[in-house]
A and B are shown apart, each in its own frame.
With several copies, the nearest count.
Chain A
Amino acid sequence: MKIKVLAFGISKDIFGSSSISLELANDATVYNLQYVLERQYPRLQQLASYMVAVNNEYALPGDTIHERDEIAIIPPVSGG
């Protein structure tokens, strides 16, 4: 399946774009997504940490991703 990944803050700089498209297996997990992204964008691994959000909620590595889910990369937050 093809999924779209939103990027914010430094992850937008790393991707060079505010969203990218990725090809993932149909039963892919958040962990699988991170593996693919980190191979393609090694600078992600240099972050202090980062989370993945699925449909506006923080997701766990084992969570499954479905087509049309809204996926976002959440680098360390620093609002306020």
Chain B
Amino acid sequence: MSTQIQISPTPLNTQSCIDWIMSPESGGIDVFIGTVRNTTKGKAVLRLEFEAYERMAVAEINKIVKQAFEQWPVQKALVHHRTGVLNVGQVPVIVAVSAAHRAAAFEACRFIIDTLKETVPIWKKEIFEDGEVWVAAHP
């Protein structure tokens, strides 16, 4: 079980994530890259701001990755999450999983990002021309 989990305000580097995840034992690698989209529900987004409860976020991501290793025959898993202010087109999150066979890589990668979005204490504020809102805070 080889994992690399980082939460940091520095820009994410896709290539170094891919360099880390590749190995001679792997046949398939799935990489999910989240990017800041220029609209949400039809409204123009200027930028996003991410805040994390870092210690707990790392602990929760570790739990998710551990579950992925229990559920699928995967070799390495990487989760890098950015904090701070991000402009449109920038990358808040990268999840990468390598496995001998591609099905496990796809399924574990999807599981990790889906669960991360449900349980990991990281918050996103959308900043518009006319105001800002913490995503999902209100019903």
Contacts and interface: CB of A to CB of B under 8 A. Distances in A.
Asked if A and B bind, the verdict is yes
How many chain B residues sit at the interface, stated as a range, is: 20 to 34
A71 B59 CA distance: 15
Given A8-B123, A48-B136, A78-B122, 20 more contacts: A9-B134, A10-B137, A13-B134, A48-B138, A53-B53, A53-B121, A57-B59, A72-B56, A75-B137, A76-B137, A77-B119, A77-B122, A78-B123, A78-B124, A78-B137, A79-B57, A79-B93, A79-B117, A80-B81, A80-B122
11 contacts: A9-B123, A48-B137, A53-B53, A57-B59, A75-B123, A79-B50, A79-B120, A79-B121, A80-B92, A80-B116, A80-B120
Contacts, number: 80
B22 interface: no
B130 interface: no
Nearest to B53: A8
Interface string A20-40: 000000000000000000000
Most buried by A among B113, B120, B135, B136: B136
B93 A80 contact: yes
How many chain A residues sit at the interface, stated as a range, is: 20 to 34
A53 B92 CA distance: 24
Contacts of A58: 119
Contact of A6 (B53, B117, B124): B53
A13 to B, nearest CB: 8
Contacts of B118: 77
A60 interface: no
